[in-house]
């Protein structure tokens, strides 16, 4: 593996092109959005010719898809880190973590969910990564249902509602339609709580605000 111990020496073979391209694409995405990602510009920054990238990514969209995959994995890890000891806290926190992720990484989040630039059904790994992240949300809701904390409505319905809520709030805030967390720190909590309180099992309704 040449160039590893002497990175300054110009070698014909780069040795780590895919990973470096991925990393640089992620940084460009973060700063300037997905439309700013050009294979030619990436190649020039890395110091390689543009067609070299096509040895590792079948096209531009595939590179974007790989970046989006790591985005979903990152989101999933954050969701998995939520404390699950209390059903209510877990539900609220997972919603807040979800929204926070989108607000901290708006361009990455837009890439992950911008159905136009990365359509479903084209990149299997991307679809899977998205599903895995979503699964954490669903598992948390299922757990709260099994404990009897939320109404026994169909899990798919409850999950769809929760996901729609946090995803909608995320999108609307990062696009400036609704005030961001900076301007309205408690908006996300209020919104998530509002949905949650409509989903409580009856015996939980009276003391629902004691645990928050």
User: Which residues of this protein are in contact with DNA, per CB under 7 A?
Assistant: 1-3, 11-15, 17, 37-41, 43, 48-52, 54-56, 58-61
Please enumerate in sequence order all residues whose Cβ is within 8 A of that of 5, keeping only pairs 6 or more positions apart, or say none. none
Report, in Å, the least distance between residue 40 CB and DNA. 4
Choose the binding region for its own copies from 8-16, 56-64, 67-75, 173-181 (rule: CB under 8 A). Answer: 173-181
Which of DNA, its own copies, none has residue 185 at its interface (CB below 5 to 8 Å by kind)? none
Residues 211 and 89: beta-carbon distance below 8 Å:
yes
Please enumerate in sequence order all residues whose Cβ is within 8 A of that of 203, keeping only pairs 6 or more positions apart, or say none. 148
Burial track 39-66 (b if 16+ CB lie within 10 A, e otherwise): beebbeebeeeeeebeeebeebebbbbb
Report, in Å, the least distance between residue 62 CB and DNA. 8
Map residues 117-156 to x or -, x wherever contact with its own copies holds by CB under 8 A. x-xxx--------x---x------------------xx--
Report, in Å, the least distance between residue 28 CB and DNA. 10
**Closest to 98 measured CA to CA, from 211, 196, 32, 188:** 188
Which of its own copies, DNA, none has residue 165 at its interface (CB below 5 to 8 Å by kind)? its own copies
């Amino acid at each position: 593996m040449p160039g590893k111990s002497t990175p300054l020496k110009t070698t014909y073979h780069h040795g780590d092109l895919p990973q470096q391209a991925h990393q640089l694409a992620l940084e460009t995405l973060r700063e300037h959005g997905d439309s700013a990602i050009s294979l030619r510009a990436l190649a020039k920054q890395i110091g390689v010719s543009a067609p070299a990238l096509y040895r590792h990514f079948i096209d531009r969209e595939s590179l974007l898809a790989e970046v989006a995959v790591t985005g979903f994995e990152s989101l999933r890890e954050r969701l998995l880190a939520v404390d699950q000891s209390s059903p209510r806290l877990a539900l609220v926190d997972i919603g807040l973590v979800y929204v926070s992720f989108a607000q901290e990484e708006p361009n990455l989040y837009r890439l992950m969910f911008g159905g136009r630039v990365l359509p479903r059904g084209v990149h299997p790994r991307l679809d899977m990564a998205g599903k895995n992240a979503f699964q954490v949300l669903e598992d948390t809701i299922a757990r709260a249902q099994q404990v009897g904390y939320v109404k026994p409505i169909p899990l798919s319905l409850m999950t769809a509602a929760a996901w729609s809520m946090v995803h909608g709030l995320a999108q609307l805030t990062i696009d400036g339609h609704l005030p961001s967390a900076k301007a309205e720190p408690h908006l996300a909590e209020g919104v998530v709580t509002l949905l949650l309180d409509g989903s409580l099992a009856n015996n939980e309704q009276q003391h629902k605000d004691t645990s928050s």
